[in-house]
A and B are shown apart, each in its own frame.
Chain A
Amino acid sequence: MKNWGYSIHKDNQIDLDRNDTSVYKALILVEPSIARCISCGSCCATCSSGEYTSLSFRKIMIQISRGETKDLYSNLSQCMLCGKCILVCPRDVNTRNAITKLLQILTTKN
């Protein structure tokens, strides 16, 4: 291969024809309340961790439903499991349990 000082860029699009959404499918079976999420962001605003780290439950829900799982485990690991997010969720999503189950799924997967 030639080196001309540049390479062909990779695109940054979410390609649902290609992406694997099995993590989301596995999670929704054990924590069905995640289907109710409307991405309002209440959980993130109250999150003890989110103010200091990249943890965002809203983003994680979107990412796994799109099959974008890069950095997922390390993001999730920042959760303190305090459960404040459950209190504020208007759609009664069991956010804390979703995180613990998600960690389990990812651990088993790898």
Chain B
Amino acid sequence: MKVEGKARIWKNYQKEIPDNDFFYVRSCVRQNFFPGAETTFLRIMKDELGINVYDDPAHTSCTGIGYHADIVPFDTTMTVVARQFALMTEKGFKNMIPSCITSFGLYTEILETWEHHPEVLEKARKYLKEATGRTFEIPENLSHASDVIFKFRHKIAERAKYKLINKYTGKPLRVVEHIGCHYAKMFPSKGVGGAEYPYVLTGMVESFGGEIVDYPERRSCCGFGFRQYLVMANRGYTIANTKKKFDSMDPYKPDCIVTNCPGCPMFLDKGQYAIAELEGRVYGDGKYGIPVLTFEELAGIVLGYDPWDIGLQVHQIPVEPLLDKIGVEYDKSAKYKGIGGRDLGKPQHSKLIKAYIE
């Protein structure tokens, strides 16, 4: 592997990412799957970087899940997205940053459609006006939240308390990066580094001191696929895709996986439990599995945030082995304590894969 070969491609996919004043739109599902991720993002933006981000309680789902599951038609989706743009316009912002990869892909798709078909834009304006009385400006810049963390990765690294270095061996931690499909596969030029060798998470991991694992199924989907997973009878197909990735990455002995999508960490994290239950296979150390992080959680860890403040206790695969390798100081006993020390109870262990460290 020649990294300079990848750098050559990365040069062709430079992306403009603004440095301040963002209108943030949240993901529908992340707050359930990994509830600390978005809070951590806002904390990093505001407290560490001093960046102006507006988190608007009035925005809704972009309908991306419904759209990709053939439930919501494009005209409806487009009108809902137009409403998000209207909220942004009303609050005086020009840079939009979705938290969700599918929202990012969908907004990009809609903006591209409007660019090539101005009559469709006019239709969206008309629908929104009729439905809500609102008008909107097209964002000057659309970046994904991971693009912004990527942009400020060196600043974060400067303020970091920890590095992604294995304290037992002194070597960089081996990190698998998993990019959401809708980040750049549809529009390679909209992703940092393009679609074949995306640099957005690689750049983050490198500046935090880690090392990227390139494995054969790196480009493959986590298996979510919306209309697949949403129908129970199709879940064997979803999990087969997830398993394919694990079978491919496991020989490289990664220390953790980092993702920039709402669905992927869900399927890579919970999927390991499901694979263990269905076929008895446990990846990584064979006991706990391979920890899966969102990019915000990863940044939060290196910045020294309390792991339980950023929500790492809700992960299926325990993160403690990773925290120990990094050398993070944390209170083991506080993992399942809520606000004010309230006992949240412990999840059950499965027979094959441990849910937490005893």
Contacts and interface: CB of A to CB of B under 8 A. Distances in A.
Interface of A: 1-2, 4-11
Contacts of A11: 240, 244
Interface of B: 232-237, 239-240, 243-244, 274-275, 277-280
Contact of B236 (A1, A2, A7): A7
B236 A6 contact: yes
Contacts, number: 35
Contacts of B274: 4
Contacts of A10: 240
A89 to B, nearest CB: 39
Nearest to A5: B232
9 contacts: A1-B280, A6-B232, A6-B236, A6-B239, A7-B236, A8-B239, A8-B275, A9-B240, A10-B240
Contacts of A4: 232, 235, 274, 277-278
A100 B275 CA distance: 45
CB-based closest 5 A-B pairs? A6-B236, A9-B240, A2-B277, A9-B236, A6-B235
Contacts of B237: 9
**Interface on chain A toward B: helix, strand, loop, or mixed SS?**
loop
A4 B232 CA distance: 9
For A2, A5, A11, the residue with the greatest tally of chain B CB atoms inside 10 Å of its CB is: A2
Nearest to B352: A1
Contacts of B233: 5-6
Contacts of A8: 236, 239-240, 243, 275, 278-279
B224 to A, nearest CB: 15
A69 to B, nearest CB: 23
Nearest to A3: B278
B235 A1 contact: no
Contacts of B277: 1-2, 4
A75 B244 CA distance: 31
A15 to B, nearest CB: 12
A6 B234 CA distance: 8
Nearest to B236: A6
Contacts of B236: 6-9
The listed residue with most B CB atoms (<10 A of its CB), out of A4, A9, A10, is A9
Contacts of A2: 277-278
Nearest to A10: B240
Most chain-B CB neighbours within 10 Å: which of A1, A4, A6, A11? A6
A7 B239 CA distance: 8
A5 to B, nearest CB: 6
A9 B280 CA distance: 15
Of the candidates B234, B236, B277, the one having the most CB atoms from chain A within 10 angstroms of its own CB is: B236
A100 B244 CA distance: 39
Contacts of B232: 4-6
B272 to A, nearest CB: 12
A1 B279 CA distance: 7
Given A4-B232, A4-B274, 9 more contacts: A2-B278, A4-B277, A4-B278, A8-B236, A8-B240, A8-B243, A8-B275, A9-B239, A11-B240
A8 B234 CA distance: 10
B159 to A, nearest CB: 43
A4 B240 CA distance: 15
Contacts of B278: 1-2, 4, 7-8
A16 to B, nearest CB: 14
Contacts of A7: 236, 278
Nearest to A9: B240
A13 to B, nearest CB: 10
Contacts of B275: 8
A2 B274 CA distance: 9
